[in-house]
Structure 1
Amino acid sequence: MVGGQSARIASTGHAWNSIINDAFGQVALRTREGMPFFGRFRHVPIAGLAVAEVASSNEEAIRTRRHIARDDEEAFAFVLLREGELEIEQYGRSLLLRADCFTLLDLGAPYRLAHGRRTDLMALTIPAGFLRTAMVAPQRRVLEVFPATGGIGRISADLLHALAAEGAAIPEKLATAYAQRLTDMFCMLADHRAGESRGTLSATQDRLYDRCCAIIDNRLADADLDPAQVAAAAGISVRALHQLFQKAGQSVGLQIKLRRLDRGRRMLLDPARKSETIKMIALSCGFRSQQHFSTLFGQTYGCSPGAARRGGLPAANG
Structure 2
Amino acid sequence: MLPESTFCTEDLPASDRFEAWTQRLGNTHAPMHLSSERTADYRGHQRVLALGDVTVWPATFDHLVFHRTPRLVRQSDPEVLHLSLLRRGAGAASWGRQQVGYRIDDFHVNSSSLPYEISTGHDPVSIIGVEIPRTALGLRAGQAEQVVGRRVSGREGMGALLAGLLVQLTSDTSSYRTADAARLATVVTDLVTAVFAHALDAEEFLAPETHTRTLTLRIKSFVRQHLGDPDLTPASIAAAHHISRSYLYRLFQAEGQTVAAYIRDQRLAGAHAELTDPRLHTLPVHAIAARWGYTRPGDFTRAFRTAYGITPRESRLRALQQLSVDAVHSTVDTTRMTPPAPLPHH
Query: TM-score, normalised to structure 2's length?
Result: 0.52
CA distance, structure 2, for counterparts of residue 133 and residue 150 of structure 1 = 22
Q: 1:49 aligns with which of 54, 58, 63?
A: 54
**Which stretches in structure 2 are left out of the alignment for 5+ residues?**
209-253, 255-346
Equivalences for residues 1-318 of structure 1 within 5 A: 2-10=2-10, 12-32=17-37, 37-71=42-76, 73-90=78-95, 92-117=97-122, 118-131=124-137, 133=139, 137-167=143-173, 170-194=176-200, 197-198=201-202, 210=204
- Give the share of equivalent positions with the same residue, in percent: 18
**Which stretches in structure 1 are left out of the alignment for 5+ residues?**
199-205, 218-269, 271-318
CA distance, structure 2, for counterparts of residue 136 and residue 163 of structure 1 = 29
CA distance, structure 2, for counterparts of residue 47 and residue 167 of structure 1 = 16
Number of aligned residue pairs: give it. 206
CA distance, structure 2, for counterparts of residue 34 and residue 183 of structure 1 = 35
Q: 1:135 to 1:86 in 2, by over 3 A?
A: farther
Deviations 1:109-137 (A, max 9, x none): 21111124121111111011112547871
Q: 1:104 to 1:116 in 2, by over 3 A?
A: closer
Q: 1:43 to 1:171 in 2, by over 3 A?
A: same
CA distance, structure 2, for counterparts of residue 164 and residue 65 of structure 1 = 33
CA distance, structure 2, for counterparts of residue 21 and residue 147 of structure 1 = 26
CA distance, structure 2, for counterparts of residue 190 and residue 40 of structure 1 = 29
Where 1:5 maps in the other structure, the secondary structure is strand
CA distance, structure 1, for counterparts of residue 67 and residue 198 of structure 2 = 30
User: Does the 8 Å contact 2:18/2:39 carry over to 1?
Assistant: no
CA distance, structure 1, for counterparts of residue 194 and residue 141 of structure 2 = 9
User: Does the 8 Å contact 2:56/2:129 carry over to 1?
Assistant: yes
Q: 1:91 to 1:50 in 2, by over 3 A?
A: farther
Q: 1:134 to 1:50 in 2, by over 3 A?
A: farther
Deviations 1:24-71 (A, max 9, x none): 111111111687532111111111100011222211110113223343
Query: TM-score, normalised to structure 1's length?
Result: 0.56
- Per-residue deviation at 1:153? 2.5
CA distance, structure 1, for counterparts of residue 81 and residue 167 of structure 2 = 19
Higher-Rg member (1/2): 2
- Per-residue deviation at 1:5? 3.2
CA distance, structure 2, for counterparts of residue 46 and residue 95 of structure 1 = 29
RMSD: 3.3
